[in-house]
Structure 1
Amino acid sequence: MLNFRDGPFRGLTRRSLLQSTAGLLSVSCVAEATRAWAEERLAGTGEVVVFSWGGAFTDGVRRNVYEPFTKATGIEVVDVVADLAEPQVKAMHQAGRVDWDIAYVATGKYPEMHESGMFVPIDYSLWDQESLEGTPPQTRFVDAVVVETSGMVLAYDSRAFPKGGPQNWVEFWDVAKFPGPRGLFGSTGRTNIQFALMAAGVAHKEIWPLTDDKLDRAFEKLNEIKPHISKWWTAGGEAPQLLNNREYAMCSIYDGRAMAAIRQGAPIKFAWDGAILGYDYATVLKGGPNTSNAQKLIAFLNRAQIAAGWTQGTNYPGPNTNQIKYLPPDLASQVSVNPENASRCIVEDPAWLMGKRPDGKINAEYIQERWLAWRAA
């Protein structure tokens, strides 16, 4: 598991975040430096075929990453849109015909695909020193690198709590002090189980692994809050909409969704204490048609200024902490790579989740089975 209190996060202070304003004054110079570096190190021809989730995500990444990459290197980026990359990557691998070059893969899907040999090693020799120093080693694997981080955070309607709403999961469970309808993500149970353990007094560092005794304790705590859940949301856009409509007084929500809603004027506030962080990895597909160009795009998007562009375009940051100095101060204070926020978060343990129980079931599958049974009861 990652420990955001160590490594590259050490030395990033409140002062350095405030000084990010000064960094904005020299963005044009930095952009020129990035372009010159890319022209020298990453120039090429042809194209690179990249998976994308479509919609606002694709628009933001194309504007802030892909178009600057093409302008600097001469390599065209071709988007292929799908809801999920993993099923198609597996199908292409099995068929022996890989049409994509880069796929973004979820944490829980990566181990199996890695073991099956679907990816080629990342060429870190193409990365600049600032990218390597700013990206924690634990997020850089042999054949994958974290491309973005999403956090499930606690949000509330500021109109319902004008003097301040709940700031942690203990307070989320406190229906007397903070009355009102609540919402939690209904499709999968892992985040809610962790929230319940924190509400029961389990320290952040003691959450993982999710042993059977901890699961029993979590479901006992979930029994307390279940009557106060007015709706289990399942789509990412539901949570901010239901808050905005006053159907929720508070709920769990993806940090990117919350930030997007706040930018549009929604009366939403959120807290990082006890947030659950999840990752998507950028991978270069074995057998893809443009592997060399794929390596160059991976190196480009992990450069600090480009990483900041990714964050501004998607609201979900990659792990490069050096991007902080290129972000607007209001965004720098809200993202998970801000060390003050990161220190309050919990990072799931994908190796444990993919591990097998004595009965042969994978831990993640067992937890989900218990969750669905509890929901249905």
Structure 2
Amino acid sequence: MTKQYSGNRSFCGLSRRSVLQSTAAFLSVPFVVEATSAWAQEKLAGAGEVVVLSWGGSYTDGIRRYVYEPFTKATGIRVVDVVTDLAEPQIKAMHQAGRVDWDIAYVSPANYPAMHESEMFVPIDYGLWDQESLEGASASTRLKDAVVAEQSGMVLAYDTRAFPNGGPRNWGDFWDVKKYPGPRGLFGSNGKVNIEFALIAAGVAHSDVFPLTDDKVDRAFEKLNEIKPHIAKWWVAGGEAPQLLINREYAMTSIYDGRAVAAVQQGTPIKFTWEGANMGVMYGVILKGGPNTANAQKLIAFWNRAQIAAGRTQGTGYPGPNINQVKYLPHDLASLVSINPENASKVVFSDDSWLVAKRPDGKTNADHIQERWIAWRAA
């Protein structure tokens, strides 16, 4: 994971950069990765540079510190990061012009199929990966010409001051305004995530949420009608949700997982649950025709190494797919992040192939759902 699944955004909220900036500031000192450095010196040594898309702000600061600098030190390959918000339009333009200036970029699952069919990406050389990386990243995260780079979600968080004896544990509790009174918040721009939460609150099993068929969407909006009067504010910017909890303007709300983890690490009076969280991913790809393809293969192999993956999670707040990183994370962080198997077992991953599929009227399922959401919000 798109935020509105409109084909030009990522994950499940605002612009990618706005989600990620300021979420890495809470993270700890650089990781010690002697074993990985020695492995990289032996297996990935090279020269020159590799040009990589980045999102700017604290995200770029964190990934430089935990991934790029160790990579350069171990391999001799310099990393040049290019900051942008929406990668896909620029990738398409470079492809059409026949001049590709980047080596590695991130693309959303919504945009990936068409770009894959247009042969914009180079197959990933999994032969460069070590065994721990291959075993830790499931086959579903390792496509022929793309690999899950990181994942992000939306969770349920609450103000511990409002519920000193324990707050809501799931979306059913979010809808229970008698047992858990107080003003609520939900993300206003995206209908899909709220439809998922409403279905779970209505008793739909996680495994049955997708596909979001018309009858399920009808059921979701009936449930949303119940909670709508209790929404104090539909938040839009990623920083609003935690701030409104801290200000006591919300008793509970949906919130980006990175923001929630940061809030807990900073000692704010916020707790959150992974039960029924929405999860999406971003793919890392190597651009066909890029200037440094061999170095790009080496960097992707490096950052999926378990120790480096743990460092990347520490530096950015958003985990990659290698579950073996958990044993290298500080315990207090490992218990909070989505890559932890206990947390991962509670989430609902977006079915991106269904969302981008066309309906009889030519609209995608995602666009149809979003149109219904906008109409409902306006009513």
TM-score where L is the length of structure 2? 0.90
Q: SS in structure 2 opposite 1:149? A: strand
Distance in 2, matches of 1:318 and 1:355, equals 26
Structure 2 match to 1:188: 190
1:274 alignment partner AA: G
Q: SS in structure 2 opposite 1:241? A: helix
Please say if residues 148 and 282 of structure 2, whose CA atoms lie closer than 8 Å, have aligned partners that are also in contact. yes
Distance in 2, matches of 1:164 and 1:40, equals 51
1:49 alignment partner AA: V
Please say if residues 47 and 77 of structure 1, whose CA atoms lie closer than 8 Å, have aligned partners that are also in contact. yes
Distance in 1, matches of 2:286 and 2:90, equals 14
1:124 alignment partner AA: Y
1:184 alignment partner AA: L
Match status 1:375 vs 2:363: no
Structure 2 match to 1:298: 300
Kindly state the Cα deviation for residue 264 of structure 1 after the two structures are TM-superposed. 1.8
1:38 alignment partner AA: A
Q: SS in structure 1 opposite 2:277? A: strand
Kindly state the Cα deviation for residue 120 of structure 1 after the two structures are TM-superposed. 0.9
Please say if residues 53 and 84 of structure 1, whose CA atoms lie closer than 8 Å, have aligned partners that are also in contact. no
Distance in 1, matches of 2:63 and 2:205, equals 37
Of residues 39, 54, 57 in structure 2, which corresponds to 1:55? 57
Kindly state the Cα deviation for residue 112 of structure 1 after the two structures are TM-superposed. 2.0
Q: SS in structure 2 opposite 1:119? A: coil
Alignment of 1:3-22 (within 5 A): none
Please say if residues 105 and 282 of structure 1, whose CA atoms lie closer than 8 Å, have aligned partners that are also in contact. yes
Give the stretch that moved more between structures: 112-121 or 70-79.
112-121
2:86 alignment partner AA: L
Distance in 2, matches of 1:324 and 1:288, equals 33
Alignment of 1:217-256 (within 5 A): 217-256=219-258
Structure 1 match to 2:168: 166
Match status 1:93 vs 2:95: yes
Kindly state the Cα deviation for residue 303 of structure 1 after the two structures are TM-superposed. 0.1
Match status 1:68 vs 2:70: yes
Kindly state the Cα deviation for residue 265 of structure 1 after the two structures are TM-superposed. 2.0
Distance in 1, matches of 2:369 and 2:278, equals 16
Kindly state the Cα deviation for residue 89 of structure 1 after the two structures are TM-superposed. 1.3
Number of residue-to-residue matches in the alignment: 351
Distance in 1, matches of 2:360 and 2:241, equals 37
Match status 1:366 vs 2:379: no
Structure 1 match to 2:310: 308
Distance in 1, matches of 2:227 and 2:99, equals 49
Kindly state the Cα deviation for residue 30 of structure 1 after the two structures are TM-superposed. 7.2
Please say if residues 186 and 254 of structure 2, whose CA atoms lie closer than 8 Å, have aligned partners that are also in contact. yes
Structure 1 match to 2:16: none
Distance in 1, matches of 2:291 and 2:235, equals 40
Where structure 2 has 5 or more consecutive residues not aligned to the other structure, the ranges are 1-29
Please say if residues 187 and 236 of structure 2, whose CA atoms lie closer than 8 Å, have aligned partners that are also in contact. yes
Distance in 1, matches of 2:111 and 2:290, equals 19
Encode CA deviations 1:311-361: one digit per residue, 9 max, x unaligned: 111111111010011001111111111111111111111111111112221
Please say if residues 31 and 66 of structure 2, whose CA atoms lie closer than 8 Å, have aligned partners that are also in contact. no
2:185 alignment partner AA: G
Structure 1 match to 2:177: 175
1:105 alignment partner AA: V
Distance in 1, matches of 2:87 and 2:144, equals 20
Q: SS in structure 1 opposite 2:162? A: coil
Structure 1 match to 2:266: 264
CA, structure 1 residues 117+166, in 2 after alignment: closer, same or farther (shift >3 Å)?
same
Q: SS in structure 1 opposite 2:80? A: strand
Kindly state the Cα deviation for residue 29 of structure 1 after the two structures are TM-superposed. 11
Please, what is the CA RMSD of the aligned residues?
1.5
Q: SS in structure 1 opposite 2:33? A: helix
Kindly state the Cα deviation for residue 100 of structure 1 after the two structures are TM-superposed. 0.7
1:79 alignment partner AA: D
Please say if residues 140 and 146 of structure 1, whose CA atoms lie closer than 8 Å, have aligned partners that are also in contact. yes
Q: Percent identity?
A: 75
Alignment of 1:28-39 (within 5 A): 31-39=33-41
Structure 1 match to 2:210: 208
Structure 1 match to 2:5: none
Please say if residues 70 and 77 of structure 1, whose CA atoms lie closer than 8 Å, have aligned partners that are also in contact. yes
1:181 alignment partner AA: P
CA, structure 1 residues 29+319, in 2 after alignment: closer, same or farther (shift >3 Å)?
closer
Of residues 325, 328, 331 in structure 1, which corresponds to 2:330? 328
Distance in 1, matches of 2:330 and 2:280, equals 24
Distance in 1, matches of 2:208 and 2:135, equals 29
Distance in 2, matches of 1:117 and 1:375, equals 39
Structure 1 match to 2:143: 141
